[in-house]
Amino acid sequence: MPFLEDRIQVTEELIVIYEEAMIALGTHGVQEYWIDTGQTRTKVTKFDLPGLNRTLDTLYNRQATLCARLTGGGRVRVRPSW
């Protein structure tokens, strides 16, 4: 399913962007960081880390949901044996 594969790829790219921002703000002494998604540019600071973390959690959940839809989501068909 090309649509789901495209959405998974976009979501994974966003995960990388947000993780890089969080790492830069959390470990490199950077006070502000620009998140560039290709469509928008947003300035974030250390005070934005809790919101970035929530967004990252949402992206990971979205990725897991899309992957489950792509692979059938672990659905099991149960039929009577008679």
Query: Does 78 reside within a domain?
Result: no
Query: Does 76 reside within a domain?
Result: no
pLDDT at site 72: 82
Q: Alpha carbon of 41 to those of 2, 33, 44, 45, 65: distances in Å? A: 28, 10, 10, 13, 26
Q: How confident is the model at residue 75 (pLDDT cuts 50, 70, 90)?
A: low
Query: Does 77 reside within a domain?
Result: no
Q: What does the pLDDT average to over 64-81?
A: 78
CA distance 23 to 25: 5
The parent domain of residue 40 ranges over: 2-70
Query: Does 75 reside within a domain?
Result: no
Is the pLDDT assigned to residue 77 strictly greater than 70? no
Q: What are the tens digits of pLDDT across the range 26-67? A: 887 889 999 999 899 999 999 999 999 999 999 999 999 999
How many domains, the chain? 1
Q: Please count the CA atoms within 13 angstroms of the CA of 46 that sit on its side-chain side.
A: 7
Gyration radius (Cα) of the chain, Å? 18
